[in-house]
A and B are shown apart, each in its own frame.
Chain A
Amino acid sequence: MNAPPVTPLLQVEDLRCTFDVSKPWLNRLIEGEPRRSLKAVDGVSFDITRGETFALVGESGCGKSTVARLVVGLYQPDGGRIVFDGEDPAQLDAARRQKLRRRFQMIFQDPYASLNPRWRVDRIIAEPIRVFGLMREDAQIRRRVAELLTLVGLSPADGTRYPHEFSGGQRQRICIARALANNPEFLVCDEPTSALDVSVQAQILNLMKDLQDEFGLTYLFISHDLAVVRHMANRVGVMYLGRLVEIADSRTLFEQARHPYTRMLLATIPDISMSGQARPAAQGEVPNPITPPPGCTFHPRCALADERCRREPPQLLPAGPARHAACHAVQEGRDAAPALRHDTD
């Protein structure tokens, strides 16, 4: 710790979000069923430093998209805090919250659903400018929209067309242009490339990296694709059933994962060198999040699980330099055993 302490741009502390998945009131009454709730996010904490890309990875249903939606305020948390540059949006009045909103934006997963099919592209991109009242004159807004379209690699003439006239990759470029329209500092990207062809994915990811360099953007990057995360992220958080199981620098994580779940995920990456080594297949399935297993929620799938893991949920604790892990086996040093052989070298 020789660098001066910097306040992170985004602090997430003990974030919790529960969804009510019970049947309607009348059905519950007749069938005698209790209320059911799903802990989508269960005590997640992380910091994002200005200018970095923090990625959240995990299988589908682990709550990573819920975290993204909580951060931008689409869902209300049931517990915990989200602090953006020292300010908690939940504590602010409407006018100041709107001022804070100007500083972040979101890019969505499905470029076919994230653009209003009845709006022309220039109106879509101009919407944030108008909503935040950044420019008043139409000519000024038109110039800015043309500039944004050029910035993301489209032609200013594309502004007069409708979204259905564009391909998936082009639509995602339009989404990025809209996200940049209010000059945000922080972008939440919820699986921005998972709906795209692999060749187009690379273009979009590179565009996002270029824009990050050019404008000093900070990204919260949600993805289930480890290869994409490795390409994009400085730091990575691995989520499992609503909890963070490991946070580490990208290089540390991909070179030497410690949490058994992270190791299992990494073992599923296709091996291009075809070393011929037998790789362990991902074992088991994600349990039902409505009735998660007691103790460490990963224990039914974990080769290292013992009595303590079945009983006591592990805390996210430091485990070596630039790394936190929530695992009893890691804390106790039991993970050295070759429980999962995923090393390809």
Chain B
Amino acid sequence: MNTQPHNRATPAVPPDEPVHTPSLLARMLDSDLWHSFVRSPVTVVSAVVALLYVLAALCAPLISPQNPFDPATLDLMEAFTPPLQANAFSGRTFWLGTDAQGRDIFSAILYGSRVSLLVGVAAVSFAALLGIGLGLMSGYLGGWVDALIMRIADIQLSFPAILIALLIFGVFKGIVPPELQDRVALYVLIVAIGLSDWVQYARTVRSSTMAEKNKEYVQAARVIGVPAPLILLRHILPNVMGPVLVIATIGLALAIILESTLSFLGVGVPPTQPSLGTLIRVGQDFLFSGEWWIVLFPGLALLILALSVNLLGDWLRDALNPKLR
């Protein structure tokens, strides 16, 4: 029975010779994900819109007609110019009109999207980092660590996210001296939104971790004495990232809306760095006096941004779900 039943005479490749493998780009273009992406026109459109949005926000100083937050470039005589109509005094035309200070709405939206996107991305990263870390610990260690983290999550989940964000912001207003508030408000906003959103990351990662940690590849690593933090980081984390990616995409849209809501309520970013939500709040004061463009265009901009990111998240969720393939 021991007469070399398996093929030892494999064609001997010199071990140092580089083996040809398709490039990363080639593999990506051949993946299931790419194929399902191309086959869904809605997804392609929303991806293009979202991408344009990010590019426009990043290049705002280069493409916007004026710097809307530099008082020197503003002219009060140009205030309340309707869209696509020449201003009676200067004769200038503004695509989307101007607001009470003569600020170009289009430029304000570009700059506002910057703040909205920055807060959204940063808040989601913060929430994901916190949630993934706590979820990994909870799922891997189990026992009282798991019970503690999950009960905190349950308690937090019983309050609406906006209430928690408002609460954190209220505490911040109470303890930070007023002269510092404008400078750190942006960071507090990021932390407040992030803290109100970590629970779903933690729950998802925890349940995936509990499934993965009993798989034999994790046990194989434990047999050779790989320390637990490295097992979590190198073995388990890459295998639980799929669902996290989906939540993060949908969470980005939610974070942007939450930020706008907070800014709309007047507790968000300071007026010196207005986001889309701040623009909408400012604009609604003029709604009944007929200057509809001041609130409509920032609102539409927010809608399009949130919708395209949300559609991308929906597609990603379906594409990564093997049961729907």
Residues of A participating in the B interface, judged by any CB pair closer than 8 Å: 69, 72-74, 97-98, 101, 105-106, 108-110, 113-118, 127-128, 131-132, 139, 142-143, 145-147, 150, 153-157, 159-160, 175, 178, 182, 202-203, 206-207, 209-210, 213, 231
Contact = CB atoms under 8 A, between A and B. Distances in A.
B16 A73 contact: no
Given A113-B216, A115-B217, A118-B239, A127 B224 contact: yes
Contacts of A101: 223-225
Contact of A206 (B2, B19, B217, B235): B2
A108 B219 contact: yes
A5 B239 CA distance: 50
A128 B224 contact: yes
Interface stretch (B6-14, B72-80, B82-90, B303-311): B6-14
Main secondary structure on B side of the interface with A? loop
Nearest to A203: B6
B8 A153 contact: yes
Nearest to A102: B224
Contacts of B6: 153, 203, 206-207, 210
A213 B2 contact: yes
Contact of B216 (A73, A110, A154, A231): A110
Given A143-B15, A150-B10, A157-B13, 9 more contacts: A74-B223, A116-B235, A118-B239, A153-B10, A156-B19, A159-B19, A203-B6, A207-B6, A213-B2
A289 B235 CA distance: 34
Contacts of A74: 219, 222-223
Nearest to B15: A146
B221 interface: yes
Interface of B: 1-2, 4-8, 10-13, 15-16, 19, 21, 215-217, 219-226, 235, 238-239
Contacts, number: 95
B2 to A, nearest CB: 6
Residue of A97, A139, A146, A175 with highest tally of chain B CB at under 10 A? A146
A127 B2 contact: no
A160 B16 contact: no
A128 to B, nearest CB: 5
B12 to A, nearest CB: 7
Contacts of A157: 13, 19
A206 B10 contact: no
Contact of A210 (B4, B15, B221, B225): B4
A160 B224 CA distance: 23
A10 to B, nearest CB: 15
Contacts of B5: 202-203, 206-207
A67 B188 CA distance: 53
Contacts of B235: 116
13 contacts: A74-B223, A97-B225, A106-B223, A114-B215, A131-B225, A131-B226, A132-B224, A143-B15, A154-B10, A157-B19, A159-B19, A160-B19, A160-B21
Contacts of B11: 155
Nearest to B214: A113
A146 B11 CA distance: 12
Contact of A117 (B15, B220, B225, B239): B239
Nearest to A202: B5
B221 A209 contact: no
A105 B19 contact: no
Identify the 3 closest CB pairs spanning chains A and B, nearest first. A146-B15, A114-B216, A108-B216
Contacts of A114: 215-217, 219-220
Contacts of A231: 1
B225 A150 contact: no
A126 to B, nearest CB: 12
Nearest to B4: A210
Given A114-B217, A116-B239, A98 B225 contact: yes
B219 A209 contact: no
Contacts of B220: 106, 108, 114, 175, 178
Nearest to B230: A131
B224 A131 contact: yes
Nearest to A73: B223
Nearest to A106: B223
A41 to B, nearest CB: 17
B1 A206 contact: yes
Nearest to A142: B15
A104 B7 CA distance: 26
